Every structure is written in structure tokens, then in C-alpha cells.
Copies of this chain bind each other. A is one copy, B any other.
Amino acid sequence: MSSETKILLAESELPRRWYNLVADLPSPPPPVLHPGTLQPVGPDDLAPLFPMSLIEQEVTAERYVDIPEEVLDVYRLWRPSPLYRAHRLEKALGTPAKIYYKYEGTSPAGSHKPNTAVPQAYYNAAANIRRLTTETGAGQWGTALAFACAQFGLECEVWQVRASYDQKPYRKIMIETFGGTIHPSPSTLTKAGQAVLDADPDSPGSLGIAISEAVEVAAQHSDTNYALGSVLNHVLLHQTVIGEEALLQLAKVGDTPDVIVGCTGGGSNFGGLAFPFLREKLAGRIDPVIRAVEPAACPSLTRGVYAYDFGDTAGMTPLMKMHTLGHDFVPDPIHAGGLRYHGMSPLISHVYELGLIEAVAKTQTECFEAGIRFARTEGIVPAPEPTHALAACIEEALRCRETGEPKVILTALCGHGHLDLAAYGNYLSGAMDDREFSAEDLKTANLPRV
């Protein structure tokens, strides 16, 4: 091969600051509102759940936030993460395009989630918090937080949607291996869980219920806080370490991206990769197309409305202005659990409204076909979530084969699929089908009036 397969950075090149896109936008995103007063929420509203340092990061207008040394020390277990040139995939596609992928699967949880779990655990420990609670669906976020808590001596208590808890025992074991405690949700440990069980003892649970349980416990105990793995500004802030590294890595090989594609669920992986490149684009130094890829079964950007809505199904959170399918919408059980969210990060929604990024939706069979093509050429079995980005990446590379354009395509391979092989088995056996979102699915009748 003519050039390197892996573009690596030394640990001394690990970024020492996170990047806050808000500082460079032509207008700030709309404020988060209190559901009762419809007034912007203040720090005190959030203090029962989050430490003040994270609340400050949530609302800061500063361009950069320093990464604490203690966080950098843990990041070094897997960061800087490798940027790969997909030589073998390019060859198999017969494309003149150059494909680069930033791989986050070498982290302790096997995805990008520890990039924010580690600082969240650090800031909570620094605020003398003893325990963090959270919810998890498929289990990636719960795994990341359990690992992060182990680094700073915090207890970690995870409510996992019962359907996933029963079907995916490996994630539960991985959370316990890292020292976390895990409960199926609904549980008898909370009023919220007990109420659901009273009504339906066999409830399979939902992410909305699990959030309610984790939040209830955090709100009741002064030594306990809650942690969220996507959507919020401070989460996306922490993830920008991905894009900052990728900028450095592409500079090393003298390439600038023409197209950047990433998958979007809550938006943290996409924002993490894209925002530093967006800074460069806003400054006029580069001009890539930046494309979010979402599942056709849960297409909040391409088919949702831009409105104030709740972050959870039960309607307990503050109101966020975002692209939403309605908080009542229950996505089809596609395999990419990490993309099954009715809304989209308010910051990414705002950036989309500003016309700075575009979005497309992909069906899961097209995505798994891309995942298998990728595995056989590049040797990594991707998680179902990033197969969405890979499908869009392959589509672009095949377009380049037609036009002859040697475009530089950058994507985020945000995790491996070792714990998602059942979904691959489903695809390989021909049992997987697609269900696309239709107009009747839009659940916006219950949107709060703001």
C-alpha cells in the first residue's frame, strides 16, 4: 500500500481542551425551559441532579474548556484513538475516493461513551458525590459509566430496560465486571418503578421509565447524582476530543475532508466528530459537506418537527427545542438501540436549522450489508449504530466511482459490534426486515404548548 493504514498520535498530542461550538455559531441555541413556568431553567433547577461544574459547562459561552489532568490520565488508556485509512474497503469498492474512519471501539466500553462518562464521574467525585445513577437501554452507556465510576471511587447504579436486561445478559455482566450495580427496570426500588409494576407486573420497561427511576433516586439523596450519556451540551462538549484528534490526524497526512458522515441517535458521536470541523468550516478554512445519518425507523432530523418537547417519554424533564418525533413515539425495535431516541440533541438540531449540516435516513438492511462489507475488508465488526454512517460512506464512495472524483470522506466508527452479534445473525439468516417511518407515526399531538 502506498500510505499508512493507521494514523496515530502520540499521547503528548492528546487534546487538552474540549471545544464548545456555541461560541462560534451565528446565534445561540434556544434556551431550555422549565416545564411548569416555561421560563429558562437556571443552575438551581439542575443542581439536584448535576454538579455545578457540569451545569456551568452546559451553559458556557467559552470557546474552550480545559480537560482536567485526572481525566487525561484515564483517557490515555485508549486515547488518542486511531484514525484508519480504509485502503481495503476502497479497493473492494473500486472507488477513487479516500475513506478515513476514526475508531472509538478500543475504549473500555467499546464505544465513544467513555469520553464523557470519565469527566462526568470525575466532576461528581470532585463535588464529593458518592454515587451516580443512570439508565441504559442496550447497555453501552451503563458500561461506560460503570468503568468511569471505578476510576474515581464512585458507586454506579444502572437501571436497564427489562427487555434488554433479559435479552442481553452480556452487557449486564460487563457492567458488573466493571463494578457497577444493575437493576432491571421497572424495579421495586423506586416509586416510579413500583407504580408501573402495580399496573403491569410483567412490564418490559422503557427508556422513559428507566430514566424516571434513576432520576428519582438521584433527587432523593444528596450524595447521589444522575448522569446522562447523550443529548446535552456538556456531553457533546466532552465528545469533541474525537474531532480534535481527527483534525490533527488528517493534517499529518495532508488531507482535508470533502464529506464528513456520522450516525445520529442522541447526537453525541456525530457532534463529537463534526463540531471541530464545523469550527474550521465557519472560519472559512475548509468547506466539507457534513451529513448526519439516522435510521429510517427513527428519523428525527429528516422527518420530525423542530419544537419544544420533553427529553423523556414520561414528560418529566425540562423542555428542549429539538427535532422530535414526539416524546410519545416508541421507535420500532431496530437493532441499533443507540439510535432509538425520539428527539435529537438541541445543539445539533439548532445547527441543522442553521443549514450547517445535512441529514439522510437509512434502512437497517442497507446498514447491515454495509457492516458486513466493512468487516470482511477492514477486519472490524461495527456496532449497528455506525453501520448507518458506513452505508452513507459507501454510497458516497460509489458515487465517486461514477464521477471519478477523488473525494476525501471521513466517518466515525463509534464502536465495535462484539456484543451485537445477535443482530448480525438475524441479518445473515435473512430474518431482518425494514420498517420505515410513516407520516402516521408522528406523535406531535402531545407536544407541550410553549
**In the bound complex, what is the Cα–Cα distance between A150 and B377 (angstroms)?**
8
A78 contacts B379, CB within 8 Å? yes
A422 contact set on B, CB distance < 8 A: 169-170, 173
A424 in the interface (beta carbon within 8 A): yes
Contacts of A393-434 to chain B: CB distance below 8 A: 416, 418-419, 421-422, 424-425, 428
Residues A1 and B76 in contact in the complex (CB < 8 Å), given A178-B375, A381-B174: yes
Q: Does A53 contact B (CB under 8 A)?
A: no
Residue pair B174, A421 in contact (C-beta under 8 Å): yes
State how many angstroms separate the Cβ of A30 from the closest Cβ of chain B.
Answer: 38
Given known A-B contacts A6-B76, A11-B6, A376 and B178 have beta carbons under 8 A apart: yes
Q: How many copies make up the complex?
A: 2
The minimal Cβ–Cβ distance linking A225 to chain B, given in whole angstroms, is 21
Once the chains bind, are B4 and A381 in contact (CB under 8 Å)? no
A window 167-187: CB within 8 A of B: 169-170, 172-174, 176-179
| Contact indicator B375/A177 (Cβ below 8 Å) | yes
Instruction: Verify if A310 is at the interface (C-beta below 8 Å from B).
Output: no
On whether the beta carbons of B177 and A424 are closer than 8 Å, the reply is yes
- A106 interface hit (Cβ, 8 Å): yes
- Contact A176–B379 (Cβ < 8 Å): no
For A148, the closest partner residue in chain B by CB is: B379
Residues of chain B with a CB closer than 8 A to A438's CB: none
Chain B residues lying within 8 Å of A150, measured Cβ to Cβ, are 376-377
Residue numbers in B under 8 Å from A421 (CB-CB): 169-170, 173-174, 177, 419
Interface pair B378/A428, CB less than 8 Å apart:
no
By a CB distance below 8 angstroms, the chain B residues around A107 are 379
Q: Is the Cβ of B372 less than 8 Å from the Cβ of A177?
A: yes
Q: What residues on B are CB-neighbors of A10 within 8 Å?
A: 8
* Least distance between A340 CB and chain B CB atoms (Å): 22
Cβ distance A161 to chain B, nearest Cβ, rounded Å: 19
Interface-centre pick from A77, A87, A147 (highest chain B CB count, 10 A)? A77
Q: How far is the CA of A173 from the CA of B371 in the complex (A)?
A: 13
What would 22 A/B residue contacts be, using CB atoms closer than 8 Å? Answer: A5-B77, A6-B11, A6-B76, A8-B8, A8-B10, A73-B87, A114-B379, A169-B422, A169-B425, A170-B418, A170-B421, A173-B421, A173-B424, A174-B381, A174-B424, A177-B376, A177-B381, A177-B421, A177-B428, A178-B376, A418-B419, A419-B421
